[in-house]
Structure 1
Amino acid sequence: MTTLRHESGFPSARISVEGAPDLQRNERGLRPLRLPAWAGDQVLDPFFEMEVQLSAGVRLALRTAATHLELTLHAVRAPGTGGEPAPAAVDLLVDGRLARREFLTGGDLMAPATATSVAALVAGDAEAIGFPGLPPGEKEIELWLPHTAVCDLVSLRSDLPVLPSRQVVSQRRWVHYGSSISHCVEAEGPTGTWPAVAATARDLHLTNLGLSGNAMLDPCVARTIRDLPADFISLEIGVNIVGAAAMRLRTFWPAVHGFVDTIREKHPDVPLLIVSPVPCPALEDRPGPLVVDPATGRVGAVGDPRDIPLGALTLSAVRDHLARLVRERQRSDPALGHLDGRTLLRPDETADLHDGLHPNAAAYLRMGARFADFLSSHREWSHVLHSANSS
């Protein structure tokens, strides 16, 4: 039996936590946060607070010749269909390639509120996830944490010493912001989200600020992106603003400008791509809000189309407005670009929206591959892959 005589706690000088703008110590371990702790005080929404803690895109990076690793963490797992825990996995990458996916079985469970009970947390135990049988010799290791769980990092054990990663130092840094379409809860594992697929395909250092049920152009998020190192920034904007009927054109237009202006305070020349919404048939030509049909689980829009002339937003309108906004800003900001979300998921692929809104796992893989191809094949964006102009 292999002896795991080398143990590292967290934080560690030899193991970096990547993709997490903040780290919070608690009695169980070290919790990665996808926004600084202060941001939670500026948004009065418990769901926002939970989304910030879910570990989408967060990973551990190290270098080692070890052939056996064991990660201990205490997870808080979100409920999935029927109240059962949503699948949560740790993905192991060796030299940039997925080598193993291990699903969690322990941890706490968030029990959702029902007609007869309030939301509660069912306590569980910390869990050790083993990765034996790794190839010999020195290699770059990434351990991607579950994108569907909150994770408190406890320790990493190994049969040989671990060293700081060399890979993360050389990668171009990509900061991406978006909604559930960027969080990708439906992906089969943490490297199956479309931003992770694109990042691993093009060797980009990803910080994924995809926040399900959010992406409301909150100023605290803009300030976070402004203050992060970045060689490339992308913003997926619109679907939740329309789906929640959170804004009309009068507020949407200046909110996008203000969000970009804040980022540009410290990243004036960094390539910044605005991505408009992927298809959602219910919202294409009808305003929100969205409601879920309990009988089918599919979404429908209940906004009044007669409000469109008064500034009510649809996805079709948002795409047009974002394209116009980018065209107008490009006169003074040539590093700003626009990508129609229907390039990532085509209108003829809406059968892959399992609930009429969210893509399924296979669709996310295609979206990631298409985004990676977009970066490679468009001259104005391909230089992102070949220059480390970190600001």
Structure 2
Amino acid sequence: MTKIKEIHMDNYTYLDNVFSFEGAVSVEENNEYCAPWRIDFKEKELFPVLKDKVGKFCSGVRLCFTTNAQYIALQMAEIDEDTLILDVFVEGAFNQQIKISDTSPIALEGLREGTKQIEIWLTQNQTFKLKKLFINKGAKISKTLDYRKRWIHYGSSISQSNAATSPSKTWAAMTAQKLNLNLTNLGFSGECVFDPMVGMKMRDLEADYITLKLGINTYPGLQTERMFAPNVIGIIKSIRERHPYTPLAIISPIYCEAREIEKGACGLSLTEMRVSLEQIVNIFKSYGDRNIFYISGLEILNEESKQHLPDGLHPDADAQYIMSDNFTNKVFSRMAGTL
């Protein structure tokens, strides 16, 4: 790694307005650092549980800017847990991976000359507290103008994808790359239980596609059979207040052998959840919603792939590729004709 002290550098913070965090819902900014959040930081107390951990995790979040700098470095204010793994893309193509384990400035290596778009995928299960971004002195930097269609996804740990080998290798990230989409991944590990505030936030965000992968986190009893369907209906109605025609896909749970037939503490099995979610979609269709779709989670990952579920529940790194291919071919292929 190039030591930035060997090169004259300019430095920037979030307040300089020369870079953005795509895929973030909000950004925390203070005198020490800036940090992307996947909930509204200024109203974080309205997001109980999510504010304490997963709302700060960076699944799907990218640090983005355009620059002609050949030398770039990042300095963190602090590292919360393990080493940060960042995937660097230049002009849409993977360029390098960097690992950050302390607060010393870490440089990107071997960048070509000339103006280029930089997109850095952040670690999917950690916070990211950036102190400064450095570029070689005299170089230019500005926010990237992103004209890609916007995709919002809501789900569980299966969507946060902790088992992926790196942040750009989650199934949602790979799907976004294939389809050239600007992803906002609201995959909240253990906490996809149809929080009303999450529905309201999705309602307020720009979106060309919205997908909701629902059910698995309710199984242990975080939701009841009585409230399962009403809360799904409520979150869909919230979204439809400002996205009445946006393609909206409801995806039921992927395969999980132990939970397929056995009822959970919520009073439902995964098989029953799939029936309920399909019925809900059909109700919306009967009321005239032509842009809502139901996709069984078994079309995304089924029993034939159970060897990729090491704990019987969470897809491994190899399964990310299977899920991305199926999400592209089973979900987006159905929604694409509506735009």
Q: Secondary structure at the match of 1:71?
A: strand
- Aligned residue pairs total 332
8 Å CA contact retained: 2:249, 2:331: no
Does the Cα contact within 8 Å between 2:12 and 2:134 map onto a contact in 1? yes
The match for 1:201 among 158, 178, 202 is: 178
1:40 deviates by 3.8
1:281: which partner in 2?
A: 257
- Computed over aligned residues only, the root mean square deviation of the Cα atoms, in angstroms, reads 2.0
Give per-residue Cα distances to partners, 1:233-291, cap 9 Å, x unaligned.
1111000001x2222332101110001001111111111111111111111111235xx
Q: Percent identity?
A: 30
> Deviations 1:131-153 (Å, cap 9, x if unpaired)?
12112222211011211211111
Given the alignment, which residue of 18, 27, 30 partners 2:22?
Answer: 18
Q: Which runs of 5+ in 1 are unaligned?
A: 79-84, 107-125, 290-310
Inter-partner Cα distance in structure 1 for 2:282 and 2:23: 31
- In structure 1, the partner of 2:312 is 356
- Alignment partner, residue 165 of structure 1: 144
Match of 1:263 in 2: 239
Distance 1:183 1:238 in 2: 15
Partner of 1:213: 190
| Equivalent residue letter for 1:146 | T
Query: 2:336 is matched with which residue?
Result: 382
TM superposition outliers: structure 1 runs of 4+ over 6 Å: none
8 A Cα contact 2:39 2:51, kept in partner: no
The DSSP-based 3-state class of the residue aligned with 2:124 is coil
In the TM superposition, residue 27 of structure 1 has moved relative to its aligned partner by: 4.5
Name the structure 1 match of 2:129.
152
Mean alpha-carbon deviation: is it higher for 256-265 or for 328-337? 328-337
TM-score (norm 1): 0.80
**Alpha-carbon shift at residue 48 of structure 1 (Å):** 5.2
SS at match of 1:257: helix
User: Does the aligned pair in 1 maintain the 2:295–2:331 contact within 8 Å?
Assistant: no
Contact 2:160/2:188, CA 8 A, preserved across alignment: yes
Does residue 175 of the first structure (1) align with residue 129 of the second (2)?
no
Displacement of 1:28: 2.5
2:213 touches 2:253 (CA, 8 Å); kept in 1? yes
> Counterpart in 2 of 1:319?
274
C-alpha change, 1:252 and 1:375, in structure 2 (3 Å) is closer
1:253/1:72 CA distance change after superposition, 3 Å? same
Flag the 1:323–1:214 CA change in 2: closer, same or farther, 3 A. Answer: same
Q: How does 1:228-247 map to 2 (within 5 A)?
A: 228-242=205-219, 244-247=220-223
Question: Closer, same or farther in 2 for the Cα pair 1:345/1:88, shift >3 Å?
Answer: farther
**Any idea what the Cα deviations from partners look like across 1:286-334, whole Å, max 9, x if unmatched?**
1235xxxxxxxxxxxxxxxxxxxxx811111111111121122112111
Structure 2 residue aligned with 1:300 = none
Q: Measure how far apart 1:375 and its partner are.
A: 5.1
Note if 1:68 corresponds to 2:71: yes
Displacement after TM superposition at 1:343 (Å): 1.6
TM norm structure 2: 0.92
